Amino acid sequence: MRLPIRLAALPASLALTAVLVGVVVAPSEGGDRPSLASAAAPASGACSGAPAAAVEAARERGMSYDFLMGSSFKRKLTAVGSRAVVLDAGDYTTSDFTAGTDRVDSSRLGRSAAGLIGAGSGATHLEMAPRSSTRKRVVPTTEYEVNPLNVLRVTSEHPVVGGFSLTGSPQGHTYNGLRIDRAHGAQVVDVHVSAIPGDMDRPPGETFGINDYKTVGSVYEHVEVDGAGVGAAGFAANGSQGITVCDASSHDNPISMGFAFWSVKDITLVDCTATDNGFTGFNFERVSGDVRLIRPKAEDNRWDMRVVSDLGSARYTIVDPDLTSTQVPGRWTIELPSTYWKHPSLQKRSDVTLIVDGKVRNDLIRWVVPY
Q: Which of 238, 231, 234 is nearest to 248 (CA)?
A: 234
The vertex-100 CA angle with 75 and 154, nearest 5°, equals 70
> d(Cα 91, Cα 15) in Å, to the nearest integer?
9
3-class state of residue 13 by DSSP: helix
3-class state of residue 242 by DSSP: strand
Amino acid sitting at position 29: E
Q: List 216's β-bridge partners, or say none.
A: 184, 241
CA 205 to chain CA mean position, Å: 17
> d(Cα 209, Cα 58) in Å, to the nearest integer?
25
Q: In terms of residues, how long is the chain?
A: 371
What Å distances lie between residue 146 and 104, 175, 255, 313, 341, CA to CA?
A: 12, 10, 16, 26, 17
C-alpha atoms less than 13 angstroms from C-alpha of 66 in its C-beta half-sphere: 5
> d(Cα 86, Cα 61) in Å, to the nearest integer?
10
pLDDT tens string, the chain, 371 residues long: the values are 333 333 233 222 222 223 333 333 333 333 343 344 433 334 455 799 999 999 998 888 887 766 555 544 334 434 555 778 888 898 888 888 887 655 678 878 878 888 999 999 999 999 988 999 999 999 998 988 999 999 999 999 999 999 999 999 999 999 999 999 999 999 999 999 999 999 988 889 999 999 999 999 999 999 999 999 999 999 999 999 999 999 999 999 999 999 999 999 999 999 999 999 999 999 999 999 999 999 999 999 999 999 999 999 999 999 999 999 999 999 999 999 999 989 999 999 999 999 999 999 999 999 999 87
Q: Which of 8, 219, 11 is nearest to 123 (CA)?
A: 8
Q: Which of 340, 272, 341, 339 is nearest to 305 (CA)?
A: 272
The DSSP call for residue 357 is: T
> Beta strands 332-335 and 365-368: pairing type?
parallel
> d(Cα 365, Cα 276) in Å, to the nearest integer?
21
CA dihedral 6, 199, 262, 308 (to 10 degrees): 130
